[in-house]
Amino acid sequence: MSRPWRLLDTGLRPASENMALDRALLESCQAGAPNTLRFLRFEPSALIGFHQSASQELDLDYCRNEGIAISRRITGGGALYCDQGQIGWELFVDRRTFATADMMEIARKACGMAVRGLQSLGVQAAFRPRNDIEVQGRKIGGTGGAFDGEALLYQGTVLIDFDVERMLRVLRIPREKLSGKAIASARERITTLRALLADATPSVATVQAALVQAFAEGLGVDFEAGDLTAAERELYETYKVEMAGDDWVFETDRPRLEVATASALRKTPGGLVRVMAMVDTARGRLKQVFITGDFFIDPRRTIVDLEAALRDLALERIDEVVGKFFAGREVDMLLLTPDDLLGVLHEAIRTLEPKDHERVGV
């Protein structure tokens, strides 16, 4: 009989403690600890990826004034806002567990299990490449992973409830750009179990039980509730102090960059198209784009998938990526064309200040 996997629930904690546990458990996994499924929750926190700069990604003054802790993850990815309304899940496993080193394939498999857990709660969840979980085109969870030696950490979230406006204020978006339309647009792209199930919103324990069942079936394993080992506790106590300090949080800090927010509106033969784009002007990258308007498109999720494909993309690759995106799928847009969407996006970028034109090469 195979060795049971360990099940850990480390509860609601400050960000620095959760990061310290990630580090301790990953090192323990490398040293031969049992494969582990961990559940975690955060006190209000702004988390940056391992290689990111807090000053570039976050509104530090807002976080400090609102009592939102700032921390840096041991994994990559973008800046996140986390609080009590989310459940985090993490797999600490031997790198051979998924029989592949392809992170896209690992994402597909791990997210597929989480999707089945949410479906058992009555939610029409689905996997959205590269690494999101959605319900009818609206994101309900994000995931990501990293190898470290012979160990793999793959982690994800489930939104039970979420404050979209607070998330936008935590990120370094200029205050004058946080219009009602921008907030409403972000809300259209995110959903929660509370929004979907209302009075039948499941408890944290119910969601976790559904995920445990789905991971057990998907991986063909049994789970056994456990606790930290003595060695893990020792590592945790050491890292808890280190990862609460500014030396860890701001280790990768760089001078603050302005993230320019550009927008454009155009009436096309296929309808009205509105684009809002956030551009890292120093690196010449399109950080995020939101496409809305009055037009027909089927499947409806196409716009959400296109936005995901354009995320954190070098500006010079926009045409290439949009071309490949539409070449690889069947989409009915009536009179709207991919060139129409590209045109409005380029028009938005051209509205940046002259000094920004020079830096992004528009």
Q: Look at residue 315 and tell me whether its pLDDT is greater than 70.
A: yes
- 200 close to 172: Cβ distance less than 8 angstroms: no
pLDDT computed for residue 293 by the predictor: 76
- Compute how many other C-beta atoms are within 10 angstroms of the C-beta atom of residue 353: 12
User: For residue 45, what pLDDT band results from cuts at 50, 70 and 90?
Assistant: very high
Give pLDDT tens digits for 288-312: 898 887 777 888 788 889 999 999 8
Span 72-88, average pLDDT = 92
Give the separation between CA 295 and CA 282, rounded to whole angstroms.
33
pLDDT computed for residue 164 by the predictor: 92
DSSP assignment of 199-233: GGPPPHHHHHHHHHHHHHHHHT--EEE----HHHH
Phi and psi torsions of 113, nearest 5°: -70, -45
Least confident of 1-5, 203-207, 264-268, 287-291: 1-5
Q: Look at residue 277 and tell me whether its pLDDT is greater than 70.
A: yes
Which residues contact residue 262 at a Cβ distance below 8 angstroms, ignoring those fewer than 6 apart? 276, 277, 278, 279, 348, 349, 350, 351, 352
Least confident of 11-20, 82-91, 184-193: 184-193
Q: Look at residue 280 and tell me whether its pLDDT is greater than 50.
A: yes
Give the separation between CA 214 and CA 219, rounded to whole angstroms.
8
Span 234-261, average pLDDT = 86
User: For residue 353, what pLDDT band results from cuts at 50, 70 and 90?
Assistant: low
Span 222-248, average pLDDT = 96
Tokens standing for 306? Answer: 């296109």
pLDDT computed for residue 113 by the predictor: 98
Span 230-253, average pLDDT = 94
Enter the pTM of the model: 0.76
Give pLDDT tens digits for 148-160: 889 999 999 999 9
Q: What own/partner pairs with CB < 8 Å and gap ≥ 24 does 267-270 have?
A: 268/295, 268/335, 268/336, 268/337, 268/340, 268/343, 268/344, 269/335, 269/336, 269/340, 270/295, 270/296, 270/333, 270/334, 270/335, 270/336, 270/337, 270/340
Q: Look at residue 258 and tell me whether its pLDDT is greater than 80.
A: no
Sheet holding 69-72, edge to edge: 69-72, 45-48, 80-82
- Compute how many other C-beta atoms are within 10 angstroms of the C-beta atom of residue 1: 4
- Compute how many other C-beta atoms are within 10 angstroms of the C-beta atom of residue 124: 11
Q: Look at residue 361 and tell me whether its pLDDT is greater than 60.
A: no
pLDDT computed for residue 175 by the predictor: 65
pLDDT computed for residue 338 by the predictor: 95
